C-alpha cells in the first residue's frame, strides 16, 4: 500500500518533521469527542529534547514502535500528553499534538473541563487529552482502528498555511524550528511565534 492518498495516512509514512506538518488539519477522535489538529511539534531521538534521546527504556519503548501508535505519557505528574508515533520501528520519533479545534462533543468536553470558551477547550497538550478523555491507559494503542482514531481532514476544508516556530516548554534543542501551527487559528496553545510561513 504505497502512495496513500489521504493526508493522515501519508503523514504516517513521512519523516517526523514533515509528518508534524502533514498532521495539521487532520482529525483526532475519541468516543463522541473529536477535533481538528491545529498545532503540533516534532520530536526525534537524535536531539536531546526528545524522550527517546536516552534510548529504549520502560518509558520510551512506545516511541520506537512502528508508525501509527499513540504515545501517551504523564507530564508534571498531572497531565497526559498525546503523541503520534512515526518513522520505522527502531527509530524513536513522534509528533506531539499540542492543540485541537473542537469538532464534535464540545458539550462533553465542557463537562470534563468546566465551562470554557470553545477556543480554550483544547488549546494545549494537557487540555485536549482531558477534553477528549484520553488517559495513560491508551499508551501504545493503534491510531488506526484503535480507541483513539486518527482521521483525514473534515470534508471541504482546505489545508491551512502553517506558521513555524520553536518548541514550547523545553530546555534543550530549543533552537530547532519544529513547532507548526495552522495560520490564523484561534485554538492554538499560544499565539504563533514570529510568523514564518510554510
Partner DNA sequence: CATGGGATTGACT
Partner DNA sequence: GTCAATCCCATGC
Which string of b and e fits 65-93 if b means at least 16 CB within 10 Å?
Answer: bebbbbbbbeeeeeebbbbbbbbeeebbb
Q: Using CB under 7 A, pick the residue from 79, 149, 173, 183 that binds DNA.
A: 79
Check residue 78 for interaction with DNA (CB under 7 A). Answer: yes
Cα distance between residue 156 and residue 114, in whole Å: 31
When binding is defined by CB under 7 A, the residue of 8, 127, 179, 187 that contacts DNA is 127
Query: By CB under 7 A, is residue 49 in contact with DNA?
Result: yes
d(C-alpha 178, C-alpha 83), whole Å: 14
- Binding string, residues 152-171; x marks residues near DNA by CB under 7 A: ---------------xxxxx
Instruction: Name which position in 1, 2, 5, 77 contacts DNA (CB under 7 A).
Output: 77
Residue 126 binds to DNA (criterion: CB under 7 A): yes
Q: Are the C-beta atoms of residues 17 and 173 closer than 8 Å to each other?
A: no
Interface with DNA by CB under 7 A: which range of 19-27, 29-37, 43-51, 180-188? 43-51
| One of 67, 96, 100, 182 touching DNA (CB under 7 A) | 96
148 binds DNA (CB under 7 A): no
Residue among 114, 113, 116 nearest 129 (CA)? 113
Which of 19, 43, 143, 188 touches DNA (CB under 7 A)? 43
Q: How does 105-129 read in b/e, with b if 16+ C-beta sit within 10 Å?
A: bbeebbeeeeeeeeeebbbbbbbbb
Distance between CA atoms of residues 51 and 43, nearest Å = 8
Q: Pull the grid cell for residue 69.
A: 501508535
How many residues bind DNA (CB under 7 A)? The answer is 34
Position 63 contacts DNA (CB under 7 A): yes
The residue among 4 and 194 lying less far from DNA, judged by its C-beta, is 194
- Interface contacts to DNA, rule CB under 7 A: 41, 43, 49-52, 54, 57-60, 63, 71, 74-79, 81, 83, 94, 96, 113, 124-127, 167-171, 189
Amino acid at each position: 500500500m504505497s502512495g496513500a492518498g489521504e493526508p493522515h495516512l501519508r503523514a504516517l509514512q513521512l519523516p517526523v518533521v514533515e509528518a508534524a506538518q502533514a498532521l495539521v488539519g487532520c482529525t483526532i477522535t475519541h468516543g463522541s469527542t473529536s477535533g481538528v489538529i491545529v498545532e503540533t511539534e516534532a520530536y526525534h531521538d537524535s536531539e536531546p529534547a526528545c524522550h527517546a534521546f536516552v534510548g529504549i527504556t520502560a518509558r520510551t519503548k512506545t516511541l520506537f514502535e512502528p508508525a501509527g501508535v499513540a504515545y501517551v505519557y504523564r507530564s508534571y505528574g498531572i497531565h497526559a500528553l498525546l503523541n503520534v508515533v512515526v518513522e520505522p520501528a527502531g527509530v524513536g520519533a513522534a509528533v506531539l499534538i499540542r492543540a485541537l479545534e473542537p469538532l464534535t462533543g464540545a458539550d462533553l468536553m465542557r463537562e470534563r473541563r468546566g465551562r470554557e470558551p470553545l477556543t480554550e477547550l483544547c488549546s494545549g497538550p494537557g487540555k485536549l487529552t482531558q477534553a477528549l478523555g484520553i488517559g495513560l491507559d491508551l499508551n501504545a494503542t493503534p491510531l488506526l482502528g484503535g480507541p483513539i482514531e486518527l482521521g483525514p481532514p473534515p470534508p471541504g476544508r482546505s489545508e491551512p498555511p502553517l506558521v513555524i516556530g520553536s518548541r514550547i516548554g523545553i530546555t534543550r534543542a530549543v533552537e530547532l524550528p519544529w513547532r507548526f501551527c495552522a495560520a490564523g487559528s484561534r485554538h492554538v496553545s499560544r499565539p504563533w511565534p514570529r510568523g514564518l510561513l510554510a
